[in-house]
Structure 1
Amino acid sequence: MASSDINWDRLDKTKFYVVGAGLFTGVTVALYPVSVVKTRLQVASKDTLERSALSVVKGLLKTDGIRGLYKGFFTVMTGTIPTRVIFLTALETTKVASLRMLEPFRLSDTTQAAISNGVAGMTSSLLAQAMFVPIDVVSQKLMVQGYSGHTQYTGGLDVARKVLRSDGIRGLYKGFGLSVMTYVPSSAVWWASYGSSKHYLWRILGDNSGEEGTPSLPKIILVQATGGIIAGATASCITTPLDTIKTRLQKFSFLEKMAKQRGRLEHHFMIIV
């Protein structure tokens, strides 16, 4: 394995979780408005005036100010930090276990990295979805509240209470099967691509070019960043279409179903009359 790899038994767990949570929070703060805009565009109806990303941003800033770009943010952070801890723990422990199981097969480092990272990504994503899907359902309803005829809420608890009242616990797990179908393979592909591409790049660049036989920091950043780009591009081909379908399923609220039912009743009544 590459000398830049740090396995679970050599990892400083405190720094791992604290730094990981801090970086994840920072990334979430930076990218959350993109998620809000994307979700609104995914559920836009034909009659919606805001049909582009720029128009959605302008509409949010006009009605709610900068807070509009962070609808549901605190709900997401409350649920995703513990979910992230579960994901990272499962990822690293499963990766180590997979590597040990692959040792007798004498595979190349690149192949071992692809298989172990792929299995770890798949397992950790499956566990994380059980916690994240209800948070995702609630946060996305907050993101689109008041938009294109969607219901207004007073907060995350109000969303959860109304969903439970109308649909029961199943309402909080709308799209769970599709989430698993979307993110579990995507996570497996992302981590497999990242692990294998990183080892391939180390083989090209040379693993021990820094002081004391360790890679230099710029080289580590270059390899990890390039590996992340390759992995992201590969996984997005799987995620994007299914994510759109999942989002639409999760937005199909009780009130929307009632409106459709009322429309059908009115249609039947007109036929009878």
Structure 2
Amino acid sequence: MSLRAMEEESASEIRLPADVDWEMLDKSRFFFLGAALFSGVSATLYPIVVLKTRQQVLTARIPCLKMSASMLRTEGLRGFYRGFGTSLVGTIPARALYMGALEMTKSSVGTAAVRLGFSEASAAAIANAAAGLNASMAAQVVWTPIDVVSQRLMVQGAENGGFKSYSGGLDAFRKIIYSHGVKGLYRGFGLSILTYAPSSAVWWASYSISHRAIWARTRRHFCRKDDLRPEGKAGLVAVQGISAAVASGVSALVTMPMDTIKTRMQVLDGEGNMRRPVTVVQTVRNLVKESGISGCYRGLGPRWASMSMSATTMITTYEFLKRLSTKRQERFV
């Protein structure tokens, strides 16, 4: 029996809109449409990721608006999309791995948790946390090398850089392999796991909890009075978006220091720089020496904005994608 079937049989007072689980999906449609939809999302949000990365790497503390104006003046719009082609190439397989692992884990863990006697709400939170953790770990196998290359392209043209210049993604890939071998592409892999896996677990668990709490307080405004099922899609989308923003804030605060350390390790490896922070300890020492403990939270604003907008867009797009991908195009509301 699926988690969704168990949810429908449970006597929970809060009736969430029925979910679309792994068994209901047309997998080929799910992955094809997912690649197209999330590529569009990545293109929209990429400039914020570039700003966040530059703030984490540069020695000087430059406000976002000032940095944006400077980039626009000296590099044009192109500066906000440095490394985007490389990032997009890696996003498609990484997203496919992420979505597949997420749905399979959520379905199996959720079903097991309900059978072990957890309440439906607790089972959903546990399933979402486990799914986020597992999905992120799977995706990082593909994403870390892409992240290393694309981040180096992002910081080209940075104001106090001295960063090595690359003609493109392939050139960066070749030079990293030549200088450091394959391990150079996986610089910060352990930290990536320690950053993104907990972040994903915290995000999905927070989303599950906040979604349930917000829906409990707002459902009467969006549902039919007879059975409290959604009467339209607008209210459901609004609740999903707010829940995603809340979950992003929690996740960003918890994992920001690790993300900053990871980014600096992946970018500042001595290629064209006087500094050579090749270990976690050296990276932390340099960061604290430059900016104190607050340096660990450099770029928090852009990261929270990026995560919130990305997550809000992602979750509404993701739920829409799952409904588009259901077998026989059934509608679950």
> Could you say whether these structures have the same fold, taking a TM-score greater than 0.5 normalized by the shorter chain as the test?
yes
* Corresponding position of 1:11: 25
Is 1:83–2:90 an aligned residue pair?
no
Q: Does structure 1 retain, via aligned residues, the 8 Å contact 2:113–2:123?
A: yes
- Matches of 1:212 and 1:97 in 2, distance apart? 33
- Matches of 1:227 and 1:140 in 2, distance apart? 29
Moved over 6 A (4+): none
* Corresponding position of 1:176: 189
Q: Does structure 2 retain, via aligned residues, the 8 Å contact 1:7–1:96?
A: yes
Q: Residues 12 and 203 (structure 1 numbering): CA distance in 2 closer, same or farther, change over 3 Å? A: farther
**Greater helix fraction, Structure 1 or Structure 2:** 1
How big is each residue's C-alpha offset from its partner over 1:108-137, in whole Å with a ceiling of 9 and x where there is no partner?
A: 222111100000000000010111000000
* Corresponding position of 1:266: none
The aligned amino acid for 1:191 is: W
- Matches of 1:10 and 1:201 in 2, distance apart? 26
Match of residue 246, structure 1, among 262, 286, 298: 262
Q: Does structure 2 retain, via aligned residues, the 8 Å contact 1:163–1:254?
A: no
Q: Does structure 2 retain, via aligned residues, the 8 Å contact 1:125–1:187?
A: yes
Match of residue 245, structure 2, among 229, 232, 237: 229
- CA drift at 1:260: 5.5
- Matches of 2:69 and 2:223 in 1, distance apart? 50
- CA drift at 1:199: 2.7
Q: Residues 260 and 185 (structure 1 numbering): CA distance in 2 closer, same or farther, change over 3 Å? A: closer
- Matches of 2:219 and 2:62 in 1, distance apart? 49
* Corresponding position of 1:113: 124
* Corresponding position of 1:265: none
- CA drift at 1:15: 4.2
- Matches of 2:78 and 2:41 in 1, distance apart? 17
Q: Does structure 1 retain, via aligned residues, the 8 Å contact 2:71–2:80?
A: yes
Is 1:166–2:179 an aligned residue pair?
yes
Q: Residues 108 and 200 (structure 1 numbering): CA distance in 2 closer, same or farther, change over 3 Å? A: farther
Match of residue 166, structure 2, among 153, 158, 178: 153
Q: Residues 86 and 211 (structure 1 numbering): CA distance in 2 closer, same or farther, change over 3 Å? A: farther
- Matches of 1:157 and 1:220 in 2, distance apart? 43
Query: After alignment, is 93-102 or 17-26 more displaced?
Result: 17-26
Q: Residues 260 and 242 (structure 1 numbering): CA distance in 2 closer, same or farther, change over 3 Å? A: closer
- CA drift at 1:254: 4.3
The aligned amino acid for 1:175 is: G
The aligned amino acid for 2:238 is: L
Which one has more relative contact order, counting CA pairs under 8 Å at least 6 apart? 2
* Corresponding position of 1:220: 236
- Matches of 1:41 and 1:23 in 2, distance apart? 28
Match of residue 52, structure 2, among 38, 50, 63: 38
- Matches of 1:16 and 1:124 in 2, distance apart? 16
- Matches of 2:223 and 2:21 in 1, distance apart? 21
Q: Residues 255 and 4 (structure 1 numbering): CA distance in 2 closer, same or farther, change over 3 Å? A: same
Residues paired across the two proteins, number = 257
- Matches of 1:45 and 1:204 in 2, distance apart? 46
What TM-score do the two structures reach when normalised by structure 1?
0.86
Instruction: Provide structure 1 residue ranges, at least 5 long, that are not aligned to the other structure.
Output: 262-273
Instruction: Provide structure 2 residue ranges, at least 5 long, that are not aligned to the other structure.
Output: 1-6, 8-15, 277-333
Percent identity between the two aligned chains: 42
- Matches of 2:275 and 2:91 in 1, distance apart? 33
- CA drift at 1:87: 0.1
